[in-house]
Amino acid sequence: MRILALESVNQTASVALLEGNTLRCFKEGGNTLPQSEFLLPAIAEILQETSLSLADINGIAVCTGTGSFTGIRIGLSAAYGLSLAANIPLVGVSAFAATAHQCAIEKLLLAVLLESQNTFYVQCFAVSGEACTESLLVTPETLHQVLPQAEFLRAGNGWIQWGEQPDFSTVVNAETIARAAAPLFTSGEPPPFPLPLYVKESYAKMPSL
């Protein structure tokens, strides 16, 4: 199966082509190039370099957030357009889900993603790999309030900023979005329509887990 993946929630957007378990091609934008000017040319370059067309793509995956408000909208708009124009199945994967997919989850996993130096996105995942809490936006002063009461593992780039080492080294880009999306295309169930994930600030505690 060939999956074309788009990620534009980070400062450097990326596009990847995953065929089976093999990364066929990967493009990443620079800090100075807007996501809106990077995505479509990068997709065209990938198709040209792999001698493929959109007709050869079996699925499109897009990062739905969290991250840059504008970046989320740009990525979703591009993915919607490609999917509709070429009649290609489309799935959305959150940055949290892409992070959790890279981890061997043997107990609760708390994904903490850096939003800025002063804020973090957080979400908790069960051993099954499914999210078991809503996603939240917290500050360094309130992060401790949302830590699970049970023993848990750490993943995401926010832990280092907070002063702790994560248990897993993870990255959110088009490749990891594609790998997290692959099981959704083969689950036998129609994937849900991708919706943007916008996270607002919350000081609520995580449920007792």
Q: Where are the domains of the chain?
A: 2-95+171-185, 104-162
**What whole-number distance in Å separates Cα of residue 147 and Cα of residue 129?**
18
> What CA dihedral angle connects 157, 143, 103 and 191, to 10 degrees?
-100
- Entry pTM: 0.91
Residue 12 has pLDDT above 90, yes or no: no
Q: What is the CATH number assigned to the segment(s) 104-162?
A: 3.30.420.200
Planar angle of CA 112, 107, 184, nearest 5 degrees: 70
- pLDDT tens profile 130-145: 999 999 999 888 888 8
- The reply to whether domains 2-95+171-185 and 104-162 share a CATH topology is yes
- For residue 172, the Cα-to-chain-centroid distance in whole angstroms is 6
Q: Which fold has domain 2-95+171-185?
A: Nucleotidyltransferase; domain 5 (3.30.420)
pLDDT tier at 162, thresholds 50, 70, 90? confident
Residue 55 has pLDDT above 60, yes or no: yes
Provide the pLDDT for residue 88. 96
Average pLDDT for 33-61: 94
pLDDT mean across residues, the chain: 90
